[in-house]
Amino acid sequence: MTKSGPGFSTLAVHAGAQPDPATGARATPIYQTTSFVFEDADHAAALFGLEQFGNIYTRIMNPTQAVLEERIAALEGGAAALAVASGHAAQLLAFHTMMGPGDNFVAARQLYGGSVNQFGQAFRSFDWQVRWADSSDPASFEARIDERTKAIFIESLANPGGTFVDIAAIAEIAHRYGLPLVVDNTMATPYLVRPLEHGADIVVHSLTKFIGGHGNSMGGILVDGGTFDWSKSGKYPLLSEPRPEYGGIVLHQAFGNFAFAVAARVLGLRDFGPAISPFNAFLIQTGVETLPLRMQRHCDNALAVATWLKDQEKVSWVRYAGLEDDPNNALQKRYSPKGAGAVFTFGLAGGYEAGKRFVEALEMFSHLANIGDTRSLVIHPASTTHRQLTPEQQVAAGAGPDVIRLSIGIEDVADIIADLEQALAKA
């Protein structure tokens, strides 16, 4: 190990894990149990009172889950993390920890369609309001802040357009108004971008995507950067005021730089219950070990495919930040010098109907609603993931009628291009 500490690839393999103390097993076991035996009555009371850390019930925490949490926190450079059942669950718990009825947050409109729907529709049930801004225009976030605003939310690498966002500029605005910046880092992963280094306070992921990487497990995580002062403004009472269910503990005082992660666990996960299964945590944790190898192959393949698509007659445009002439290339080089990621979009000259024919003609590509698999994936967002949006919202989100989204896998790039070529001929 170097004097500066373990490198990214070493952390991806080792962070959070030790040989099992009971058996010596080198791989982290799957602790497939609902609950854990207390040493005595005092031990149980200390656990339930947050006076001592330990396992009570797998809905709240589990040793397999704990290794995954520590590993992702280490890769992101955060203080602590909380793994849950999905990326949507991570977002729900993050906002529940900050928001109250009547509060609002400002979010980039260039987001995954499911997040647009969650924020704009489902969150209304809690009386949480979203105000949409433009990720390419940091000033648009400032214009939508008022006294009830509790956070700003962006994606580091926007889905489906594959555009990088100026995290530092938006973080400066958030902090000027005493707000935390929440960044969804699913598309980039910490291998490409570490948002906390650019001013983010909370990072969320859908672990289902690149971090798990094999299309076999659902999961989500939130990472507490440990940098935000949750007590200063009085706007975050779950963290800054006494909690009656825990004997009057003030979580920010008691847990300091990882108080947000604790609050999301003991006030959100405990009661809403979107727990990740130990088996899924095990599979995702195993996927993390190859994250740096896979992400670099994803990036290299995607750049080759995007370059090839630019020269095809039936392709009207290609948006991939890794291309030298792409408007987003400068931000990519600044925030993600290792590569521009695996996901990008292009437009078919034939529009909506040509898009549908194209995805049906592909043979090796899988037509499904996911990204981040080892396999190459394709979708026509306007007819699937973004179908619930209005045509205007689709275009604003980068999912217009002619848009095809590719998630380039780690197969031989010649085979990927050959499949695209034959499908274009049929479209």
DSSP reduced 3-state for 262: helix
Residue 336: how many other CB atoms lie within 10 Å: 20
Rg of the chain over all Cα atoms, to the nearest angstrom: 22
Kindly give the pairing relationship between strand 343-348 and strand 403-407. antiparallel
pLDDT at position 264, please?
A: 98
CB environment 232-246: b (16+ within 10 A), e (fewer): eeebbebbbeebeeb
Residue 214: how many other CB atoms lie within 10 Å: 15
pLDDT at position 351, please?
A: 79
Q: How far apart are CA 383 and CA 164, in angstroms?
A: 25
pLDDT at position 159, please?
A: 83
Q: How far apart are CA 107 and CA 274, in angstroms?
A: 23
Q: In this structure, are residues 230 and 178 in contact, taking their beta carbons and an 8 Å threshold?
A: no
pLDDT in tens, the chain (427 residues): 667 789 999 999 999 999 988 899 999 999 999 999 999 999 999 999 999 999 999 999 999 999 999 999 999 999 999 999 999 999 999 999 999 999 999 999 999 888 999 999 999 999 999 999 999 999 999 999 999 999 999 999 998 778 999 999 999 999 999 999 999 999 999 999 999 999 999 999 999 999 999 999 999 999 999 999 999 999 999 999 999 999 999 999 999 999 999 999 999 999 999 999 999 999 999 999 999 999 999 999 999 999 999 999 999 999 999 999 999 999 999 999 999 999 999 999 887 888 889 999 999 999 998 899 999 999 988 777 777 778 887 777 677 888 999 999 999 999 999 999 999 999 8
pLDDT at position 342, please?
A: 97
Instruction: Give all domains of the chain, ordered by start, each with its CATH number.
Output: 8-287 (3.40.640.10), 291-426 (3.90.1150.10)
| Phi-psi region at 351: left, alpha or beta (left = phi > 0; alpha = psi -120 to 50) | left
pLDDT at position 160, please?
A: 74
Q: How far apart are CA 171 and CA 180, in angstroms?
A: 8
pLDDT at position 353, please?
A: 84
Percentages helix, strand, coil for the chain (3-state, rounded to 5) are: 40, 15, 45
Q: How far apart are CA 232 and CA 404, in angstroms?
A: 46
